[in-house]
Amino acid sequence: MQVMRAGSRLLGLVTAATLVTVATSFAVSAQSADRNALKKAAAAYVDANAKLVQQIVDSTFSFQEIGYHETETQKYLTGILRKHGFEIQNNIAGMPTAWLATWSHGSGKPTVSLNNDEDGLPGLSQWPGVLKEDPMIVGGPGQAEGHNSGLGGMVVAALALKEVMSKNNVSGTIQVWPGIAEEIVGGKAWYVRAGVFKDVDAVLSTHVGSALKTEYGRTAGTGLISVVYTFNGKSVHAAGAPWEGKSALASVEMMDVGINFMRQFFRPSSRTHNVLPFTGNQPNIVPHLATNWYYFREVTPEWILSDYAAGNRAAQAAADMFGTTFTHKVVGSAWPSWANKPLAEAVYKNIQAVGLPQWSEADQAYAKGVQKLVGKPEIGLSTKLDELGTGTEHPSGGGSDDIGDVMWSVPSVRLIFPSNIPGIGGHNWAAALAGATPIAHKGSVAEGKVLAMTALDLYLDPELVAQAKKYFDEEQPKLAEKAYGADKPVVYASFLPADAAPEIHINDASMKVMRPLMQKFYYNPAKYGSYLEQLGIRYPCLTQGSTCGAPASLTPEA
Ligand SMILES: [Zn+2]
């Protein structure tokens, strides 16, 4: 407000150009004085909108959409953001469900980008809040990692920032975008390729976990190339004249045999694994078509590429053996993650200010019930903050996240927030149990507060923006050169081939069957105080082996 008055008093005295300079310097000094007050106001906004956080977490749990099919999630979240004045772009990089929400104030500088993943996992449908392995839809998709739980905090943080920035005349641009198809690492590298982060100063990405924490430098875990090998042969009667056939299935099997022998010569940090999406129709037809989908994971870009090359040699040898042909298509990629130090330090200060959620006795009892159910130590939920992570010198394998491509394209950091239960891991049915409970809601509120507060640090402290950029430009490439054993400072080069396009139809067939059943379970926040209430599930449910009032599972028609 003071800035506005100063600006209007000067109006008659100076030229427009001078006015801009003077007003900007007034704005900066007013902004630094008020930083803590504004951060408090943003955190208070998130707290005051905890109901909306809960509705977003529960709604997106209920949609439980998988890669490239996040249409309900997209409609719902962009609807909220549009209503609050954000400009929405859809169809980023040719991915219909990929969106970007933007809001600017004043000079529009700097730009801070907020991100959280949103997709679920195929085949891992599970009732939330129960103490039993039991799918909502048999064979259906589920939020079996908890990506949904970060969407509440991300969206409400953006609304908090807009409120505080417009009321207090803070310049900057807020960008919000989802990690789509993250479970097949098929989203973020395409966002990078589309130039989404060209003018972005910092990306604050969040991911569900069971702690409130962050780190800088080389992270634990891997990067990867995800590739589908398609073998083509010749079908014949498998008993009539098998010698005239060329089996695509046999090639797939021998490719796997080859890679399983090669594993001895891969580094211990390699994680190489596959599924066989299609291997034939029935035994009396020699399969003329078969596919083999591999993830080649390693801890340096060079090692990822070398394992991928080994996979290509195995495919070639297996094709030669049976006279088949093959193509290979990169359908996803992730660079190994490397988090920005100044950003992580800023996030960590806000983690300390926000603290862990106040877990109720019910939350702790349910968490222990889940831990008991899956045979893990009954330690309950985190009550002590982790230290600021300083990176991992020798990562030994583990999962990947395509945020790595973003982290190598723009100063970025990742905040882990406690919306899930310690010891459960991801990609299994039990990881969905907390996803629409107060544990997820409270973790997401903490996430939203840390996000909004850190973004305000960036909007109000040009020095922090400059430090983050300096680390990204000067330190990260050299530190990675040493860490990766490279022969020059590391520069990002996408693993995606120049002519590759997102594999947006990869989940079409299963979603065609599942979507009509999934629609029956969408959350109606206008009618029910929570998703558990809508489903009739008691909280906390503490009876081991109980579905706690959940309806009967649905089964797709054959
Ligand atoms: Zn994830």
- The pTM score is 0.93
pLDDT at residue 557 in the model: 85
Q: How far is the CA of 459 from the centre of ligand 1 (A)?
A: 28
Pair 335, 480: CB distance under 8 Å: no
Q: How far is the CA of 58 from the centre of ligand 1 (A)?
A: 17
3-state secondary structure of 296: strand
Q: How far is the CA of 293 from the centre of ligand 1 (A)?
A: 19
Q: Is the dihedral of CA 180, 183, 188, 194 positive or negative?
A: negative
3-state secondary structure of 254: helix
Residues 6+ apart with CB under 8 A from 76: 56, 59, 60, 63
Q: How far apart are CA 62 and CA 534, in angstroms?
A: 11
**At CA 149, angle to CA 361 and CA 92, rounded to 5?**
175
**Among candidate residues 196, 58, 47, the one with its CA nearest the CA of residue 128:** 58
CA distances to 181, 309, 364, 378 from 384, in Å:
32, 44, 14, 16
Q: How far is the CA of 183 from the centre of ligand 1 (A)?
A: 6
Q: How far apart are CA 513 and CA 23, in angstroms?
A: 58
> What is the DSSP-derived secondary structure letter of residue 211?
S
Q: How far is the CA of 265 from the centre of ligand 1 (A)?
A: 29
Label residues 5-21 b or e (16+ Cβ within 10 Å = b). eebeeeeeeeeeeeeee
Q: How far is the CA of 221 from the centre of ligand 1 (A)?
A: 12
- CATH 3.40.630.10 positions along the chain are 2-220+336-484
Q: How far is the CA of 180 from the centre of ligand 1 (A)?
A: 10
> What are the residues facing 330 on neighbouring strands?
227
pLDDT at residue 556 in the model: 93
Q: How far apart are CA 270 and CA 546, in angstroms?
A: 39
Q: How far is the CA of 48 from the centre of ligand 1 (A)?
A: 28
In the CATH hierarchy, which top-level class contains the domain 223-330?
Answer: alpha beta
Q: How far is the CA of 410 from the centre of ligand 1 (A)?
A: 20
pLDDT at residue 503 in the model: 96
Q: How far is the CA of 280 from the centre of ligand 1 (A)?
A: 32
> What is the DSSP-derived secondary structure letter of residue 282?
-
Q: How far is CA 494 from the centre of its chain?
A: 18
Q: How far is the CA of 145 from the centre of ligand 1 (A)?
A: 6
pLDDT at residue 33 in the model: 52
Q: Which residue has the tokens 């996992």?
A: 121
**Among candidate residues 156, 188, 133, 197, the one with its CA nearest the CA of residue 50:** 156
Q: How far apart are CA 165 and CA 450, in angstroms?
A: 16
Q: How far is the CA of 427 from the centre of ligand 1 (A)?
A: 9
3-state secondary structure of 209: strand
Q: How far is the CA of 182 from the centre of ligand 1 (A)?
A: 6
Residues 6+ apart with CB under 8 A from 519: none
CA distances to 93, 443, 525 from 151, in Å:
21, 11, 16
- CATH 3.30.70.360 positions along the chain are 223-330
Give the tens place of pLDDT for each residue, 312-355.
999 999 999 999 999 999 999 999 999 999 999 999 999 999 99
Q: How far is the CA of 405 from the centre of ligand 1 (A)?
A: 14
Q: How far apart are CA 363 and CA 539, in angstroms?
A: 9
Q: Is the dihedral of CA 334, 336, 339, 340 positive or negative?
A: negative
The CATH architecture assigned to 2-220+336-484 reads: 3-Layer(aba) Sandwich (3.40)
Q: How far is the CA of 413 from the centre of ligand 1 (A)?
A: 15
Q: How far is the CA of 226 from the centre of ligand 1 (A)?
A: 15
Residues 6+ apart with CB under 8 A from 428: 124, 144
Pair 115, 206: CB distance under 8 Å: yes
Q: Which residue has the tokens 């909007």?
A: 459
pLDDT at residue 31 in the model: 52
Residues 6+ apart with CB under 8 A from 193: 93, 494, 496
What pLDDT tens digit does each residue of the chain (558 aa) get?
Answer: 333 333 333 333 333 444 444 444 445 545 555 999 999 999 999 999 999 999 999 999 999 999 999 999 999 999 999 999 999 999 999 999 999 999 999 999 999 999 999 999 999 999 999 999 999 999 999 999 999 999 999 999 999 999 999 999 999 999 999 999 999 999 999 999 999 999 999 999 999 999 999 999 999 999 999 999 999 999 999 999 999 999 999 999 999 999 999 999 999 999 999 999 999 999 999 999 999 999 999 999 999 999 999 999 999 999 999 999 999 999 999 999 999 999 999 999 999 999 999 999 999 999 999 999 999 999 999 999 999 999 999 999 999 999 999 999 999 999 999 999 999 989 999 999 999 999 999 999 999 999 999 999 999 999 999 999 999 999 999 999 999 999 999 999 999 999 999 999 999 999 999 999 999 999 999 999 999 999 999 999 999 999 999 999 999 986
Q: How far is the CA of 144 from the centre of ligand 1 (A)?
A: 10
